[in-house]
Amino acid sequence: MNLSEFNRVLRQVFLLPVIALLITAGALYLQVRGSNDTVRLIQNTDATIAQAALVGKLIADQESGLRGYQATHDDRFLSEFHQVEGSIQSELENLDLAIQADEDQRGNIEDLRNEYQNWHDAFALPIMATVRAGGTANDVTLNLYGKTLMDQVRQDVAAITRRAEKVRSARIEQWQHQVHNMIEALIAIALGMGVLIGLFTRSRLKSVSSAYRSSLEVLSRRAEELYQSEQKLRTTLVSIGDGVITCDADGRIQLMNPVACELTGWGQIEASYRMLEDVFRIVNQKTGEPVETPVAKVKRLRTVVGVGYDTALIRKDGSRILIADSGAPIRDQTDAIVGIVLVFRDITLERRTQETLLSNEKLAVAGRLAATIAHEIHNPLDAVSNLLYLMRTGATEEESKQFIEMAESELARVTQISRAMLGLYRESRAPVPVDLKEILEDILLLMEHRFHELNVSIETDLPSSVKVKAFPAELRQVFTNLVSNAAEASSPGGKIRIGAHTQIANGSANSGAVVFIQDNGAGIAEEARTQLFRPFFTTKGEQGTGLGLWVSRGIISKHGGSIEISSETDPAAHGTIVTVFLPEQPVIGTVSLPAPN
């Protein structure tokens, strides 16, 4: 049940009693109106009775006026008689009005009117005439006749009264009946409504309470799920191999997992509510300078952040470990940062391994070159010893001069080779200006024999002006790798093109030198392309280390440059071209070997 349904039920529960009350009030109104009508009819019969009494009284008054005149012959009684006569007629009219549509009463009134008229004309008028004529009005028969007529009139008045009273009592009975009915109806309506409201409210409340119960169930299920997922997260956090620290938005530590405790040397309880920078003290390994805390960095950048390459964590006991870490903001629904989670791991061993691998690769390159170099050096030395032999066995002075020049040039070549060889190992401490032409030519010189062996030809396009600042030995290592890869990929008779040119762009970061090494070998298979820069990826079996490209990319990245490989395996036009960009001014030290992935 949603909120609007709930409101509807509430409205219904409220509305029903109101409707019931309205119906009851309507019924009550009708009943009261009915009984009011009856009361009005009762009042009407009361008026009839009173009117009949009035008429009776007036007639009696007229009669007593007549008697007075009869007895005293005084005209004053006669005038009273006449006075009342007018009233009697008008009161009879009123009586007629009062009885309304009652036919019986109409008959009674008609009778009264006739009897009265009879008395008036047949008795009162003759008496008055007799008296006025000076005669006596004591005739017994006439007076008895007058009395009989008057009795008749009285009986008529009484009949009207009786009839009215009968009607009245019938109406009173009707009224009582109505009141009785009304009370009964009221009780019935009230009971009916009560039961109806009760049943209705019960059913509505039942549905509300069942909805309430089911929403309680949903809530408790959610709470249970929440609890379980929290437990899962907690377990994950505890069993995770990396150190995890969560902080509130101010950078106070809330939680540390066991690995974090082990790496920092701090206990979970003692670290709680401390500022992160007290527990997680990080410095640059090389310079010793403090590094910005991940909390500050996350707050500043409002996104996931990592730490610099050479970041060391100072543990509680003062010892240092190299770490890799990342910090991420924890946001609430309004996207505000409410905390920061920090994940870090000890990479001391990993770094050592990387360094070892790097030197291994150097050794491998040197090893592979050793045979070439021995051969390269052997040839000129052989030539020199041959020349010395010729000179010792009686050459002319002219010839000796020529032999010495030849020996000198052979020795110069040896020197050149040994210098190139040394260059592979000697490294300057800071980047120095490097002529790429020189480096590439040195490499080609050292590898001449190998090219010969593999039967590949070299074509170069190396203007002398291509210069960058770099670590020359490292660049030599890179290009030796790339050129040997090209040579090894080429089939006999293959051709390798090596070129370099300066690139001038707006920003100094985009200005520098581009070196490309192109071969017309078989190309790199689609599935191998994504793996080229992974350590130990090689298609050469025992012959390869799979470290060349990985190391090369590390070195190039360290110089702030980039390395790209595009390759084609189409039988009609196959080959690979490796392009290296080196910025004019290297940005050294931020990036080095990419992590093996």
Phi and psi (nearest 5°) for 578? -105, 125
Count of residues engaged in binding ligand ADP, rule: CB under 6 A = 21
The minimum distance between CB 513 and ligand ADP, in angstroms, equals 20
Nearest Cα neighbor of 248 from 123, 342, 139, 357 is 342
Of 524, 556, 563, 580, the one binding ligand ADP (CB under 6 A) is 524
Name which of 523 and 561 has its Cβ closer to ligand ADP: 523
Using CB under 6 A, which of the segments 29-37, 417-425, 506-514, 535-543 binds ligand ADP?
535-543
Cα distances (Å, whole numbers) of residue 529 to 214, 481, 489, 568: 57, 17, 14, 11
Q: How far is 99 from 163, CA to CA, in rounded Å?
A: 10
The minimum distance between CB 547 and Mg ion, in angstroms, equals 8
Place of tokens 């029903």: 16
Name which of 65 and 523 has its Cβ closer to ligand ADP: 523
Residue 499 binds ligand ADP (CB under 6 A): no
Q: Which of residues 455-494 bind ligand ADP (CB under 6 A)?
A: 481, 485-486, 489
Phi and psi (nearest 5°) for 557? -60, -40
Of 519, 560, 561, 563, the one binding ligand ADP (CB under 6 A) is 519
CA within 13 Å, CB half, 453: 13
Looking at this protein, which amino acid is placed at residue 220?
S
Name which of 197 and 528 has its Cβ closer to ligand ADP: 528
Task: Give the number of other Cβ atoms within 10 Å of residue 20's Cβ.
Answer: 18
Residue 576 binds Mg ion (CB under 5 A): no
Name which of 548 and 586 has its Cβ closer to Mg ion: 548
Name which of 246 and 484 has its Cβ closer to Mg ion: 484
Helices (H) and strands (E) in the chain, counts: 15, 14
Binding mask 532-571 for Mg ion (x = CB under 5 A): ----------------x-----------------------
Using CB under 6 A, which of the segments 27-35, 69-77, 405-413, 545-553 binds ligand ADP?
545-553
Tokens standing for residue 174: 């009707």
Cα 251 → chain centroid: 27
Q: Which of residues 227-286 bind ligand ADP (CB under 6 A)?
A: none
Q: How far is 263 from 240, CA to CA, in rounded Å?
A: 13
Q: How far is 330 from 337, CA to CA, in rounded Å?
A: 6
The minimum distance between CB 488 and ligand ADP, in angstroms, equals 7
Q: How far is 123 from 59, CA to CA, in rounded Å?
A: 14
CA within 13 Å, CB half, 97: 8
Work out what residue 532 binds among Mg ion, ligand ADP, none; the CB cut-off runs from 5 to 8 Å by kind. ligand ADP
The minimum distance between CB 501 and ligand ADP, in angstroms, equals 20
Work out what residue 470 binds among Mg ion, ligand ADP, none; the CB cut-off runs from 5 to 8 Å by kind. none
Of 540, 564, 590, 595, the one binding ligand ADP (CB under 6 A) is 540
Work out what residue 545 binds among Mg ion, ligand ADP, none; the CB cut-off runs from 5 to 8 Å by kind. ligand ADP
Name which of 327 and 523 has its Cβ closer to ligand ADP: 523
Work out what residue 307 binds among ligand ADP, Mg ion, none; the CB cut-off runs from 5 to 8 Å by kind. none
Work out what residue 576 binds among Mg ion, ligand ADP, none; the CB cut-off runs from 5 to 8 Å by kind. ligand ADP
Using CB under 6 A, which of the segments 82-90, 103-111, 409-417, 536-544 binds ligand ADP?
536-544
Element (H, E) at 222: helix 140-239
Name which of 98 and 365 has its Cβ closer to Mg ion: 365
Q: How far is 164 from 169, CA to CA, in rounded Å?
A: 9
Using CB under 6 A, which of the segments 90-98, 259-267, 501-509, 544-552 binds ligand ADP?
544-552
Three-state secondary structure call for residue 567 = strand
Task: Give the number of other Cβ atoms within 10 Å of residue 352's Cβ.
Answer: 11
Name which of 423 and 554 has its Cβ closer to ligand ADP: 554
Q: Which of residues 391-420 bind ligand ADP (CB under 6 A)?
A: none
Work out what residue 546 binds among Mg ion, ligand ADP, none; the CB cut-off runs from 5 to 8 Å by kind. ligand ADP
Q: Which of residues 364-393 bind Mg ion (CB under 5 A)?
A: none
Work out what residue 540 binds among ligand ADP, Mg ion, none; the CB cut-off runs from 5 to 8 Å by kind. ligand ADP
Residue 485 binds Mg ion (CB under 5 A): yes
Tokens standing for residue 527: 């599935």
Of 544, 589, 594, 596, the one binding ligand ADP (CB under 6 A) is 544
Angle at 262 between CA 256 and CA 267, to 5 degrees: 55
Q: How far is 302 from 293, CA to CA, in rounded Å?
A: 14
Q: Do residues 179 and 53 make contact, with C-beta atoms less than 8 angstroms apart?
A: no
Name which of 105 and 481 has its Cβ closer to ligand ADP: 481
Work out what residue 524 binds among ligand ADP, Mg ion, none; the CB cut-off runs from 5 to 8 Å by kind. ligand ADP
Long-range contacts from 427-431, C-beta under 8 angstroms, 24+ separation: 427/471, 427/472, 427/473, 427/474, 428/471, 428/472, 428/473, 431/469, 431/470, 431/471, 431/559, 431/586, 431/588
Name which of 451 and 550 has its Cβ closer to ligand ADP: 550
Phi and psi (nearest 5°) for 256? -135, 135
Q: Do residues 544 and 364 make contact, with C-beta atoms less than 8 angstroms apart?
A: no
Q: How far is 338 from 332, CA to CA, in rounded Å?
A: 6
Place of tokens 């910005």: 292
Work out what residue 156 binds among Mg ion, ligand ADP, none; the CB cut-off runs from 5 to 8 Å by kind. none
Name which of 123 and 550 has its Cβ closer to Mg ion: 550
Of 45, 51, 264, 545, the one binding ligand ADP (CB under 6 A) is 545
Of 308, 315, 537, 557, the one binding ligand ADP (CB under 6 A) is 537
Name which of 249 and 577 has its Cβ closer to ligand ADP: 577
Q: How far is 552 from 544, CA to CA, in rounded Å?
A: 15
Residues in contact with Mg ion by CB under 5 A are 485, 548
Residues in contact with ligand ADP by CB under 6 A are 481, 485-486, 489, 519, 521, 524, 528, 532, 537-540, 544-550, 576
